[in-house]
Amino acid sequence: MDYIIGVDIGTSGTKAIAFGDAGKVLAQHHVGYSILNPQPGHFEQSPEVLFKAVIDAIAATVRSVNSRLNRVKLTGVGFSSAMHGLIALDKQHQPMTHCIIWADTRSEPFASKLKASPDGFDIYSRTGTPIHPMSPLCKLGWMREHLPAVFNAAYKFISIKEFVFFKLFGRYVVDESIASATGLFDIHALTWYRPALDLVGISPGQLAEPVPITYVISGMDQRVAGQMGIPVDTPFIIGGSDGCLANLGSHAITPGDAAVTIGTSGAIRMMSHIPVTDEKARTFSYVLTPDMFVLGGAVNSGGVVLQWYKDTFGVSGVSGSDPYEALAEEAATVPVGAAGLIFLPYLAGERAPHWNAEAKGLFFGVQMHHRRSHFTRAVFEGIIYGLYSVGKVLDGIAGPIQVIHASGGFARAALWVQLLADVFNKQVIVHDHVEGAAQGAYMTVLKTFGMLSDFSEFEDEAPQKVYAPHVGNHRIYMENFGRFERLYDKVKDEF
């Protein structure tokens, strides 16, 4: 029996999942890690910590498979990873910085200046990446001005997946999917976009070599292979970004299908056969393959907002050992609409559709009858309203949403998924595996080795749960969502 491992390098942890025939999950292991916040607006992670997490997650998964099954062979390992990270390396291939992650907003002044210039829209149109502090383009602009010694001495500027692959194989390669989220990559020509590079003063040689998501590399460092318990010639398939692969793994690849993921952050995405950008630069257009592009928008306001709420205000005395489950139980005690309480969830600024790093959070409509449970429900609802504001834009450029495929940690919470169905007034499908990005990495391996001639051929045998929208709830949510949108417009100049 053969098996494939899908690895997802996420913001809060790395997960490795072993898939057998027809996508059956044989084993999995998760290694968590922290986000460093040395000062306001600075969000980083240690490249070495993340690399070790990848090795440990694969090793534990391999051990688990070998302990349960006889005569098994690892066919290959496919990768997904978070987008927008930036690491500066010196000529000795050592990190000069931590990995500056998507949530970092230190480059906001550079981003605002570029966005207001003619160059800004041109770069967005060619790269598909909105001008925002999340993008490596803007991070490089900031680094050039504020860390000139590091910038001028840097040999390479790479992401965390490139760092992992260099440590394993001694080569700098980046998949076109990750590259297309940098603001430096031409999604039409599938090569580095020279005007963007010239703007921040770097050369193509300081970046990794772009390759397709099906690119295979083997012959890894023998010591590291031993740590993972796998042969040195095990094929590693570079895979893509977590957002693009989540669409793939969630089976949202046909017109009318949307994928919604909420982990630390959140996103809603749809597929297109051609790159499509928005005339108001509100959405992204990322590469999966030369004829598959992922359109959509990412929001900062995902599970990180719920974590802030839990850490700041605690969890009230309701049943359930999981604090997030307890919060969901508390929210469920309050009728839909939270008795008119509205929450703008922009605690870390916001990406789509506003791309406003200065945005702030807000509770509105507080009255004497509101209790803690109303605030809890308002937090859940506010996060979904943020996604719905992106979905409305996506409807206009990618076609009407017919059905939503949900993945990410939130998909395990019935309250959140039902809320998603009610706000969008669409049917929501949750696949039992819910780890869309890791499953997408697995599917990429299948495609690479000819086990799939087309991604649409994949038949997922995992059970599904379908959530139908409640029309009455949708009506209430739309009243509150109207206030949600008007509130942002009224207070955005105060941020």
Of 252, 253, 211, 216, nearest to 235 by C-alpha is 216
* Cα-Cα-Cα-Cα dihedral sign, residues 88, 50, 124, 387: negative
Q: Could you give the 3-state DSSP secondary structure of residue 137? A: helix
3-state secondary structure of 8: strand
pLDDT tens across 396-409, in order?
A: 999 999 999 998 77
Mean pLDDT of 317-330: 74
DSSP 8-class letter at 411: G
Number of H helices, E strands in the chain: 16, 23
Six-digit token string for 353: 């559709």
pLDDT by residue (tens digit) across 269-298?
999 999 999 999 999 999 999 999 999 999
Instruction: Give the Cα separation of 134 and 24 in Å (integer).
Output: 35
Q: Check whether 247 has a pLDDT greater than 80.
A: yes
- Local structure of residue 189 (DSSP, 8 states): T
- pLDDT greater than 70 at residue 331: yes
**211-225, 394-408, 448-462: which has the highest mean pLDDT?**
211-225
pLDDT tens, 41-53?
A: 999 999 999 999 9
Answer yes or no: is pLDDT of 321 > 80: no
Cis omega before residue 353 (within 30°)?
A: yes
Place of tokens 């719920």: 306
Are 7 and 438 in contact by the 8 Å Cβ rule? The answer is: yes
- One-letter amino acid of 118: P
User: Contact 135/182 with Cβ under 8 angstroms?
Assistant: yes
pLDDT of residue 318: 52
For the stretch 145-157, pLDDT in tens is 999 999 999 999 9
DSSP 304: H
Output the pLDDT for position 104: 94
Predicted TM-score (pTM) of this structure: 0.90
Whether the pLDDT of residue 1 is over 80: the answer is no
User: Taking 80 as the threshold, does the pLDDT of residue 486 lie above it?
Assistant: yes
Alpha-helical (H) ranges within 39-159 are 47-68, 108-115, 118-127, 136-146, 148-153
Q: Is the pLDDT assigned to residue 442 strictly greater than 90?
A: yes
Rounded to 5 degrees, φ, ψ at 480 are -70, -35
Give the pLDDT score at 461. Answer: 73
Of 44-53, 58-67, 247-256, the range with the lowest mean pLDDT is 247-256
463 pLDDT band, cuts 50/70/90, is: confident
For the segment 455-470, the average pLDDT, to the nearest whole number, is: 88
Span between the terminal Cα atoms of the chain, in Å: 58
- Token couple for 299: 């929001």
**CA 364 to CA 355: how far, in whole Å?**
22
Return the pLDDT at 465. Answer: 92
Phi, psi values for residue 88, rounded to 5°:
-95, 130
What is the three-class DSSP state of 463?
coil
pLDDT > 90 in the chain, percent: 85
Query: Which pLDDT belongs to residue 317?
Result: 56
CB-count burial class (<10 Å; 0-12, 13-18, 19+) for 217:
middle
Q: Provide mean pLDDT across the span 26-41.
A: 94
Under 8 Å CB-to-CB from 91, ≥6 apart: which residues?
Answer: 155
Provide the 8-state DSSP code for 356: B
Q: Identify the pLDDT of residue 138.
A: 98
Q: Is 129 left (phi over 0), alpha (psi -120 to 50) or beta?
A: beta
Predicted local distance difference test score (pLDDT) of residue 234: 97
